Amino acid sequence: MYRIGELSALYDIKADTLRFYEKHGLLSPSSRSGSGYRLYNQDDSERLKFILRAKAVGFSLNDIADLLSIEVDKSNRACAEVKGLVDTKLEQVEAKLAELQHFATSLKSLSNTCCGGSDSAEHCSILEALESSDQHIIAKKEHHHFSHSGHKD
């Protein structure tokens, strides 16, 4: 049995983080001491490990809640569900990756054209590009029309 300080030290996270995970339904200690202290057992510790590994591959805490709900009822759940979560996350990560790659490309172009000297920025090529939408330097982003069900009357 671990107290909150012990478990948090074991995984190098803050005790607050464990309380936060508890508040959000990710990990509750299996028992409490007479005076109300949280007591985590080995299973709790394993569950925390699962959470931290899922975080390490890019899942949000909400995703992890979904993953855990499958994990605790594995035999009645399908591989397809698990793989679906992974593939959805992969798509999100790749979309963000594409956006950042576009940023990096534009920023590199901007950086390359500027002398970076201590002379006046009066004719700085970076500022000029931002003023005039130089198509060579600032790639335009595609319009993606995500159908996004946000109806509110």
Partner DNA sequence: CTTGACCTTGGATTAAACTCTAAGGTTTAT
Partner DNA sequence: ATAAACCTTAGAGTTTAATCCAAGGTCAAG
76 binds, options Zn ion, a copy of itself, DNA, none, Cβ within 5 to 8 A by partner type? a copy of itself
Locus of tokens 């309380």: 19
The amino acid at 92: Q
User: Nearest approach, Cβ of 152 to DNA (angstroms)?
Assistant: 6
Q: Is 115 in the site for Zn ion (CB under 5 A)?
A: yes
Binding site for a copy of itself (CB under 8 A): 46, 49-50, 53-54, 56-58, 67, 70-71, 74-84, 86-87, 89-90, 93-94, 96-97, 100-101, 103-104, 106-108, 110-111, 114-122, 124, 126-127, 129-131, 133, 138, 140-141
Q: Are 77 and 70 in contact (CB under 8 A)?
A: yes
Q: Is 124 in the site for Zn ion (CB under 5 A)?
A: yes
Q: Is 34 in the site for DNA (CB under 7 A)?
A: yes
Q: Which is nearer to DNA, 13 or 86 (CB)?
A: 13
Bridge partners of 2? 40
Of these, 5, 94, 107, 121, which contacts DNA (CB under 7 A)? 5
Inter-helix orientation angle 79-113/61-71, to 10°: 160
Q: Which is nearer to Zn ion, 27 or 64 (CB)?
A: 64
Q: Are 21 and 51 in contact (CB under 8 A)?
A: yes
CA dihedral 119, 120, 124, 130 (to 10 degrees): 140
